[in-house]
Every structure is written in structure tokens, then in C-alpha cells.
Amino acid sequence: MAQESLMLTIFGREYRIACAPEERADLVACARYVDARMNDIRDAGKVMGADRVAVMAALQIAQELFSAKAGGGGASLGEIKQRLRRLNEMADEVLATQEKLF
């Protein structure tokens, strides 16, 4: 299967990722979600270094995944993707509103 190169920005750093074309949208959504979680942690002011922010975000996301699996007998991958898309759409709406303020 053909791979394509995808540039993702997470926590102010760019990462080049190889992915299949059909994975592109999901990877972008996941990167935005991770970026948002890391920025939330940084903005809370509890953790300073980028490496610590990344670890805290990974722990929180893993906890969300375990909670989702335990909650309803295990959420399917499709349900998790749909939730991530909805979260991404909500974040886009909030950011669009914020951009109008400046």
C-alpha cells in the first residue's frame, strides 16, 4: 500500500509521519487531540518541561482509553474515532471563536 508523508505539529514541534492515505484524517485528529491535551496541561501551570508535559498527557489519554473500555464493555475503535472527531470539531469551533477576538 502506498505511503504518504504527513507533517504534524504537536506542542509547537513538527513531526514528519509516514502513513497510508486512508489513515491521514485519523492521524491529524489524534495529533490535534494530543496537542490540545499537552497545551491544557502546560496552561494549568502544574508541569513545566515538555517531556513532563508529554508524559502527563500520555497518562491522561491512556486513562481515558482504559475508562472508555471499562465503561461500556469496551468502546469500539469506530466509536473512539467518532468521539475524537467530535472533540476535534469542538476544538476547531472554540479556536475559531477565539481567533475572532484578536
pLDDT confidence band for 36 (50 / 70 / 90): very high
- The per-residue pLDDT for 90 is 67
Residue type, 94: V
- The per-residue pLDDT for 32 is 92
Q: How many domains does the chain have?
A: 1
- Indicate if the pLDDT at residue 35 is higher than 90: yes
- The number of CA neighbours under 13 Å toward the Cβ of 12 is 7
Give the pTM. 0.65
Domain assignment of residue 52, given as a range? 4-101
CATH number at 38 reads 3.30.160.880
Convert the pLDDT of each residue in 41-95 to its tens digit: 889 886 678 888 888 888 888 888 878 777 665 566 777 777 777 777 766 666 6
In eight-state DSSP terms, residue 72 is T
By DSSP bridging, strand 13-19 and strand 4-10 are antiparallel
Instruction: Quote the strand ranges of the chain, DSSP E.
Output: 4-10, 13-19
